[in-house]
Amino acid sequence: MIDKTVIISSKAKIENDVTIGPYSVIGDHVVIKKGSVIGPHVVVDPFVEIGSNCHIFQYAAIGASPQSLKFKGERSKVVIGDNCHIREFVTIHRGTEFGGGVTKIGNNCFLMAYTHVAHDCIVGNQVVMANNATLAGHISIGNHATVGGLVAIHQFVRVGDYAFIGGKSAVTKDIPPYVIASGDRAKLHGLNQVGLKRHGFAKETVLQLKKAYRLIFRFGLTLNEAIERVGAEVDHLPEVNSFIDFIKSTQRGITR
């Protein structure tokens, strides 16, 4: 059902079984896939693709031009995956040419009220962002990560898979996968053991991740020394390898 007050561009593509509430505006070259619900007073600007079975609540603003002084009006887009819940007053901005041209939200994500996703961010699958969490530009958020309320993340920061960032944290460096971070400025507080348990990680996997974590962050070793000891003393499980590879590939530095 599409309310009679909705304004839809003739260049938009709305698939079957889409609901759009009163006074919403759907811009040029927007694609909304089947089963999605767009609430009242939502603005979807040009070049946005919304996946199937999403629910976007009232007053959200999706696809506005990026808040970047380098942006010169070039064509860029927002891509939102399937089964996402995007709550009231969420803002998601299009990408920029110099940042890859796309802002992307994965599948099964839950963005609570007033969250902001800036230009060129890549948000993985099954990510939760609590109220007022804010991503600056060029941030990547791994799969199954949780970003707490009132968290602010600096541009170009990476957050790894299954990481948990506690509320009201300021994040200026990369957060490795599988850990908990919180504070101003954010610091690490061990593995996200509750999250790993809920997602069915084997006890042996958690044990090996804990060994790797302690060697790198608790023994006072240099990063190179710690990585060498992890290679010699910790089982080379895929999760351990991804943990180490993330740390080795940092550009902004690792939160400790």
Query: Residue 203 carries which side chain, given as an amino acid letter?
Result: K
CA distance 26 to 43: 6
CA distance 79 to 3: 24
Residue from 95, 137, 160, 195 carrying the catalytic annotation: 137
Cα angle: 150, vertex 112, 65; to 5 degrees: 85
Residue 39 gets the label, from left (phi > 0), alpha (psi -120 to 50) or beta, of beta
Active site residue 124: no
CB atoms within 10 A of CB 204: 10
Residue 185: asked if its preceding bond is cis (omega within 30°), the reply is: yes
Coil, strand or helix at 15 = coil
Residue from 93, 119, 138, 144 carrying the catalytic annotation: 119
Residue from 120, 144, 160, 195 carrying the catalytic annotation: 120
CA distance 33 to 55: 11
Active site residue 137: yes
CA distance 32 to 48: 8
Rg (CA), the chain: 20
Active site residue 144: no
Which residues form the catalytic set?
Answer: 119-120, 137
